[in-house]
């Protein structure tokens, strides 16, 4: 059995009861409407806020888990070395150690680094990185794998911490980043089956595309039961974060229902039109 979240909905329940007492609305239909609006808010307030923000965060985290090593990083690291340190690892080249200018040595080291990158010589690249100045000396190179992202150390809020890792497989790296960016919307999509079951309108495609695999419905109340939302998903927030979203949406519905009641009560909105849409109790 999966996790469950229960929140206090007494305020919302009170205003539903007031609506029924004053305007004879059909409670079943009225609660169905409230559940639809709450599920809309569950979707709206589940991360991410937008597709663009999701892609931005995913890209930032992915780059923190690993970066593609290229000539520009090596060039920057070499340029910070003094004349003596620039000649690391070439003791066997007497002409380079003594006779060559710094510019010639720099060109030689860049050619050597590019050859190591081309061959994906991780041992040679790591030896080279140890000799560079700045942050690069604390980074290391290793083969690319999807585990570099999924297994990365994360902070308290879930963001990836800088891992200081270089990879050489640029095409694979970019392909994986693109694939992960397409996952945006999974957390929102978990609510969709339940939302659509109570008449929810179609949502944005980047969310709806992830509906496959999720299951859910809304159990509307009878005389002795509370309304419930039941969902089964492969990707979900933790219980604490889900409870915060659900609690926020229930509170918002209670406030909105109270405001709506007084609009009807004082004639600011047409209660007959409302009854025609949601039905009313003839008893």
Q: What is the pLDDT of residues 249-278, one digit of tens each?
A: 999 999 999 998 898 888 877 766 665 555
Q: What is the pLDDT of residues 51-67, one digit of tens each?
A: 999 999 999 999 999 99
Give the domain ranges of the chain.
10-48+185-275, 54-181
Q: According to the model, what pLDDT value does residue 254 have?
A: 92
Strands 165-167 and 140-141: parallel
Q: According to the model, what pLDDT value does residue 96 have?
A: 66
Q: Give the chain's length.
A: 283
Q: According to the model, what pLDDT value does residue 98 have?
A: 67
Q: According to the model, what pLDDT value does residue 283 have?
A: 31
Q: What is the pLDDT of residues 176-221, one digit of tens each?
A: 999 999 999 988 988 998 899 888 988 999 999 988 777 777 877 6
Mean pLDDT of 141-165: 90
Rounded Cα distance, 53 and 47, in Å? 10
Lowest mean pLDDT among 95-99, 154-158, 238-242: 95-99
Calculate the average pLDDT of the chain. 84
Nearest to residue 186, comparing CAs of 152, 209, 160? 209
Q: According to the model, what pLDDT value does residue 175 have?
A: 95
Rounded Cα distance, 5 and 226, in Å? 13
Q: Report residue 167: phi and psi, to 5°.
A: -130, 165
CA–centroid distance for 227 within its chain: 29
């Amino acid at each position: 059995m999966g996790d469950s979240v229960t929140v206090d909905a007494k305020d919302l329940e009170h205003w539903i009861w007031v609506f029924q007492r004053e305007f004879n609305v059909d409670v079943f239909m009225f609660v169905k409407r409230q559940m639809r609006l709450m599920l809309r808010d569950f979707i709206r307030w589940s991360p991410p806020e937008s597709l663009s923000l999701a892609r931005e965060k995913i890209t930032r985290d992915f780059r923190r888990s690993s970066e593609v090593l290229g000539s520009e990083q090596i060039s920057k690291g070499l340029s910070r070395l003094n004349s003596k340190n620039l000649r690391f690892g070439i003791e066997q080249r007497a002409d380079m150690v003594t006779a060559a200018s710094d510019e010639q040595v720099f060109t030689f080291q860049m050619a050597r680094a590019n050859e190591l990158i081309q061959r994906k010589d991780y041992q040679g690249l790591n030896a080279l990185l140890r000799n560079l100045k700045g942050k690069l000396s604390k980074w290391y190179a290793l083969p690319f794998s999807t585990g570099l992202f999924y297994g990365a150390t994360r902070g308290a809020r879930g963001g990836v911490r800088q891992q200081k890792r270089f990879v050489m497989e640029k095409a694979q790296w970019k392909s994986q980043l693109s694939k992960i960016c397409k996952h945006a919307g999974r957390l929102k999509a978990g609510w969709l089956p339940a939302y659509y079951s109570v008449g929810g309108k179609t949502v944005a495609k980047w969310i709806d595309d992830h509906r496959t695999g999720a299951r859910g419905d809304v159990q509307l109340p009878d005389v002795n039961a509370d309304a419930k939302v039941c969902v089964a998903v492969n990707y979900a927030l933790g219980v604490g974060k889900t409870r915060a979203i659900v609690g926020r949406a229930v509170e918002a519905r209670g406030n909105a229902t109270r405001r709506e009641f007084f609009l009807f009560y004082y004639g600011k909105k047409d209660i007959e039109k409302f009854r025609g849409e949601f039905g009313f109790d003839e008893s």
